[in-house]
């Protein structure tokens, strides 16, 4: 009798299937999935079995690794990716942005230069919108200046939520009260808040896999890449730091997550300047 994905026995992942999924996740997105994560992987991919009509994890592995499974690989990575974000998360970075970075950016835009900020691994949008709010506080006429915040993520589903810019009351609790009044539109009947057009206007979202080509042109003044590289192994992390440095202007900033650090092999490219905050070392003239 043919098993279906609703059979309990079909929903148990074996070691071979887990290894195939872990290998594919590493190759596709740099995700490291140790053996202890098997139960988590099994749970998160259960809906994908149902969605694709595969009877068991062994069949799903064959499908997702086949040419016909190219689109499904995106959904698989989306299911395996942790999307946790909060407004003004790790507030000390926003203190630096407000006190040290914004005055320099203000000078740039007032002199007619452009400012570019990248939120890499932006999840559902709270980080780039927090950046936008912070900059609007520092530069009231921001919308008339050449400023753009780029939010990228590997997960197309989470980017749709970021574009919608709509959050629950609990999700916006980290925004200071005055900012909530100024920058959010309340739908109290639904218990939701939407980031207003003023804040959204300078934010753009794009799907991007950090392990693949980066199509952006030019350099960034600031990069937020927080709680992203922690999911990569040491060699993958080490390969990313020089790429980030190439994308940051001299003396520009990069902010990492609270448990992340620049690899020793790349520390000469960046100068520590606060808790998990670094400045790009100035390029020496030949």
Q: Tell me the catalytic residues.
A: 44, 153
Helices in 119-278 by DSSP H: which ranges? Answer: 126-138, 156-164, 177-183, 197-200, 234-247
Helices in the chain by DSSP H: which ranges? Answer: 15-29, 38-52, 57-64, 70-80, 91-96, 102-110, 126-138, 156-164, 177-183, 197-200, 234-247
Question: What distance in Å separates the CA atoms of residue 9 and residue 57, rounded to the nearest whole number?
Answer: 10
Question: What distance in Å separates the CA atoms of residue 261 and residue 44, rounded to the nearest whole number?
Answer: 29
Here the tokens at position 179 are 């900012």
Provide, for the chain, the percentages of residues in helix, strand and coil under a 3-state DSSP scheme, each rounded to the nearest 5. Answer: 50, 20, 35
């Amino acid at each position: 009798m043919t098993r279906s994905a609703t059979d309990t026995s079909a929903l148990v992942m074996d070691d071979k299937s887990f290894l195939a999924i872990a290998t594919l996740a590493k190759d596709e997105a740099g995700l490291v999935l140790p053996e202890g994560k098997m139960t988590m992987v099994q749970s998160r991919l259960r809906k994908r079995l149902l969605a694709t009509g595969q009877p068991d994890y062994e069949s799903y592995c064959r499908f997702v690794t086949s040419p016909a499974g190219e689109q499904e690989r995106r959904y698989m990575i989306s299911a395996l990716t942790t999307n946790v974000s909060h407004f003004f998360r790790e507030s000390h970075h926003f203190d630096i942005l407000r006190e040290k970075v914004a005055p320099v950016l203000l000078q740039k835009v007032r002199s007619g230069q452009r400012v570019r900020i990248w939120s890499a691994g932006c999840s559902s949008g709270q980080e780039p919108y927090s950046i936008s709010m912070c900059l609007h506080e520092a530069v009231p006429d921001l919308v008339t200046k050449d400023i753009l915040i780029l939010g990228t993520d590997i997960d197309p589903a989470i980017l749709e939520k970021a574009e919608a810019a709509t959050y629950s009351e609990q999700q916006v609790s980290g925004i200071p009260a005055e900012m909530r009044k100024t920058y959010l539109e309340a739908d109290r009947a639904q218990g939701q808040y939407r980031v207003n057009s003023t804040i959204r206007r300078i934010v753009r979202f794009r799907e991007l896999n950090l392990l693949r080509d980066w199509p952006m042109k030019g350099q960034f003044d600031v990069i937020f890449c927080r709680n992203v590289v922690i999911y990569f192994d040491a060699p993958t992390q080490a390969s990313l730091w020089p790429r980030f440095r190439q994308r940051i202007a001299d003396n520009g900033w990069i902010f990492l997550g609270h448990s992340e650090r620049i690899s020793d092999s790349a520390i000469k490219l960046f100068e520590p300047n606060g808790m998990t905050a670094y400045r790009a070392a100035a390029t020496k003239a030949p």
